[in-house]
């Protein structure tokens, strides 16, 4: 089918998505122009900033792709102090970020749960309730999600990683701690608690096919997700998945698929928030700007204190390891402008999709 005909369809099916994911040359240009126009018509060309604070790389899990997995004894473990976290949040507030993301390895011990609860209250207090807070600490119980929500978090990111259960099993250890159904159910729990719920996938994993990526897009839609962060899978030598690197497409191919995924998702879910992720930048210094041009509308500059930046190494060549918060912010503002978008400061930048979802609930 002609690409123009597909782009005019109101409901995209799996075969259409596969066709769009694979298109090249003039057709690719048409696809990107179309997704950019849809973004501008629905959520506008404003880009929301979230200051990313990577609070710790201590994790109880062993995902086979991740450089900070529990069994990687090469990783130097760290944990930011409360003071460092609060100072980073204050930096975000004073620099008009509108919101922060607290992210880290997964832990579910009572001390950790309590500590996050206290930090949330503290950040809310110091910012006079003005700073929005997104969390990303993996799978937790409904009670924990609720406690954190009540303490002030209002968005949560939990990537499903892949919607293909068989592939999920191949890239995780085979035990109860790494269960596809539990992870999917956590997304439901987050929605139930009232969070704006974000998920996403890795793109270009070993064993992954274009069909899987099309299914991933349909999964995001079927879950009625509010925001998405997805990016290329990047290999890390101290992880078990490194052994399968001969099965990977080139990094340039993974970048291309990443951009096609952003573009297709904007067509499928016009009013959600889509992040231009760091993994895109790891392949191409302009990867994030390219994603903003064709449909993304959120960017997450890293504002973790420099002393620990290098230890949150999920994959090889993670960018921005030696760039301070001021530098990342300045660089980012420049690059957002280059991509033809405008930075939205001092706003939470809630997903339009979430706002509509809430209206329909009442
Ligand atoms: N521990 C939490 C979790 O897993 O949800 C949050 C932190 S975890 C480091 C955030 C994301 O990093 C994961 O959801 C995964 O998609 C991504 N990630 C980990 N290793 C990666 C790799 N080698 N390449 C690309 N993304 C990776
Ligand atoms: Fe831990 Fe998240 Fe890495 Fe998995 S992806 S090992 S849960 S930090």
Identify whether 321 is part of a domain: yes
Which atom of ligand 2 is the closest one to the Cα of 138?
Answer: 7
Give 44's pLDDT tier (boundaries 50, 70, 90): very high
In the reported structure, the alpha carbon of residue 165 is separated from the centroid of ligand 2 by a whole-number distance in angstroms of 18
Give 138's pLDDT tier (boundaries 50, 70, 90): very high
Identify whether 91 is part of a domain: yes
Identify whether 15 is part of a domain: no
In the reported structure, the alpha carbon of residue 273 is separated from the centroid of ligand 2 by a whole-number distance in angstroms of 23
Which atom of ligand 2 is the closest one to the Cα of 66?
Answer: 3
| pLDDT of amino acid 321 | 74
Q: What distance in Å separates the CA atoms of residue 5 and residue 16, rounded to the nearest whole number?
A: 10
Give 11's pLDDT tier (boundaries 50, 70, 90): very high
Average pLDDT, integer, range 182-186: 98
**Inter-CA distances, 146 with 32, 123, 230, Å:** 39, 18, 25
In the reported structure, the alpha carbon of residue 159 is separated from the centroid of ligand 1 by a whole-number distance in angstroms of 8
Write down how long the chain is: 362
**Count of structural domains, the chain:** 1
Taking only the tens place, the pLDDT of each residue in 275-296 is 999 999 999 999 999 999 999 9
In the reported structure, the alpha carbon of residue 314 is separated from the centroid of ligand 1 by a whole-number distance in angstroms of 7
* C-beta of residue 213 within 8 angstroms of C-beta of residue 21: yes
| pLDDT of amino acid 59 | 98
Taking only the tens place, the pLDDT of each residue in 263-274 is 999 999 999 999
Identify whether 11 is part of a domain: no
Ligand nearest to the CA of 137: 1
* Ligand 2 lining (C-beta closer than 6 Å): 59, 61, 63, 66, 68-69, 105-106, 138
Ligand 1 neighbour 314 (Cβ under 6 A): yes
In the reported structure, the alpha carbon of residue 267 is separated from the centroid of ligand 2 by a whole-number distance in angstroms of 30
DSSP state of 313: -
CA 217 to chain centre: 14
Ligand nearest to the CA of 54: 1
Identify whether 16 is part of a domain: no
Taking only the tens place, the pLDDT of each residue in 91-112 is 999 999 999 999 999 999 999 9
Average pLDDT, integer, range 223-242: 97
Domain containing residue 284: 25-361
Identify whether 107 is part of a domain: yes
C-alpha dihedral (173, 60, 80, 153), degrees to nearest 10: 90
**Inter-CA distances, 60 with 106, 120, 133, 231, 358, Å:** 6, 22, 23, 23, 34
Whole-number percent of the chain with pLDDT over 70: 100
Pairing of strands 231-232, 202-203: parallel
Of 61, 71, 64, the C-alpha closest to 240 is: 64
In the reported structure, the alpha carbon of residue 359 is separated from the centroid of ligand 1 by a whole-number distance in angstroms of 32
Here the CATH number for the domain that contains residue 260 is 3.20.20.70
Of 159, 163, 357, the C-alpha closest to 271 is: 357
User: 362 pLDDT exceeds 70?
Assistant: no
Whole-number percent of the chain with pLDDT over 90: 86
Ligand nearest to the CA of 173: 2
Average pLDDT, integer, range 130-135: 97
Identify whether 247 is part of a domain: yes
Identify whether 2 is part of a domain: no
């Amino acid at each position: 089918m002609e690409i123009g005909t597909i782009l005019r369809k109101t409901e995209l099916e799996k075969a259409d998505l596969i066709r769009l994911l694979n298109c090249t040359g003039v057709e690719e240009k048409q696809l990107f122009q179309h997704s950019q126009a849809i973004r501008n018509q629905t959520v506008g060309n404003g880009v929301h900033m979230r200051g990313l604070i990577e609070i710790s790389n201590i994790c109880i899990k062993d995902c086979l792709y991740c450089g900070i997995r529990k069994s990687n004894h090469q990783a130097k473990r760290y944990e930011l102090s409360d003071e460092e976290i609060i100072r980073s949040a204050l930096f975000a507030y004073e620099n008009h970020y509108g919101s922060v993301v607290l992210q880290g390895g997964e832990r579910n011990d009572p001390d950790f749960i309590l500590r996050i609860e206290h930090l949330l209250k503290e950040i809310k207090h110091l910012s006079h309730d003005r700073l929005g807070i997104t969390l990303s600490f993996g799978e937790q119980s409904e009670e924990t999600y609720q406690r954190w929500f009540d303490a002030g978090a209002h968005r949560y990111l939990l990537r499903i990683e892949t919607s293909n259960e068989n592939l999920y099993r191949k890239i995780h250890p085979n035990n109860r701690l790494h269960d596809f159904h539990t992870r999917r159910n956590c997304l439901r729990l987050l929605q139930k608690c009232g969070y704006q719920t974000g998920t996403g996938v890795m793109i270009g994993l070993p064993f992954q096919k274009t069909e899987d990526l099309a299914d991933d897009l349909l999964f995001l839609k079927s879950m009625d997700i509010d925001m998405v962060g997805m990016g290329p899978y990047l290999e890390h030598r101290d992880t078990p998945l490194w052994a399968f690197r001969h099965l990977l497409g080139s990094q340039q191919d993974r970048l291309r698929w990443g951009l096609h995924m952003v573009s297709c998702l904007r067509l499928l879910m016009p009013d959600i928030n889509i992040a231009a992720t760091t993994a895109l930048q790891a392949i191409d210094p302009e990867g994030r700007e390219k994603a903003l041009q064709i449909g993304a509308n959120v960017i997450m500059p890293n504002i973790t204190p420099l002393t620990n930046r290098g230890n949150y190494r999920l994959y090889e060549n993670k960018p921005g390891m030696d760039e301070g918060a001021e530098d990342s912010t300045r660089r980012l503002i420049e690059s957002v402008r280059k991509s033809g978008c405008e930075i939205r400061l001092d706003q939470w930048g809630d997903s339009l999709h979430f706002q509509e979802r809430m209206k329909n609930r009442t």
